[in-house]
Amino acid sequence: MVSYENKAILEERGIKESDVEEVIASGTKIKNGASDVLSKKRIGDVTYYAMANGDVVKTAYSHKMSVGAVVNVQSDSDWVCLKCNEAAKEGTADVEYMGVSRSGPAIVCPKCGDAWVEEYLATKTVAVAEGLFEAKRA
């Protein structure tokens, strides 16, 4: 059972509580030095993220692009991949949307090759990019 630090943000971003709970229950995870755990799961055509500290969900967000293979591993990050217990890095991953494959910045695990998009990117940069893809592909 989780509680929410800011439930309004879910409504603002069109995210259901049931999706957040599914992401936390079965998503892949990274953890930072402040013990925030970021969980990620693709549900349907959307990738959802939930960041929680203990049982408290601090934020949730999503993007439509799917994140694929790691392209390169760059500098250190604050995150650790909980599946591999390896330091996750800032890097670049393939992203795909509407049949178009490009690259985007991500937190990547050099060992398992999973990749996570941080909130500031998903809600701003990636959201604008998705809008531009939709307009250009229309």
Q: Please report, as residue ranges, which positions from 107 to 136 form the binding site for other proteins (by CB under 8 A).
A: 120-121, 124-126, 128-129, 132-133, 136
Cα-to-chain-centroid distance, residue 25: 15
12 near other proteins, rule: CB under 8 A: no
Single residue of 43, 71, 80, 112 touching other proteins by CB under 8 A: 71
Within 13-97, where are the H helices? Answer: 17-26
d(CA 107, CA 37): 13
Residues contacting other proteins: total by CB under 8 A: 26
CB of 22 to other proteins, least distance (A): 27
Q: Which residue is associated with the tokens 């690259």?
A: 103
What does the alpha-carbon distance between residue 49 and residue 43 come to, in Å, rounded to a whole number? 10
Cβ proximity to other proteins: between 25 and 128 the closer is 128
The verdict on 92 binding other proteins (CB under 8 A) reads yes
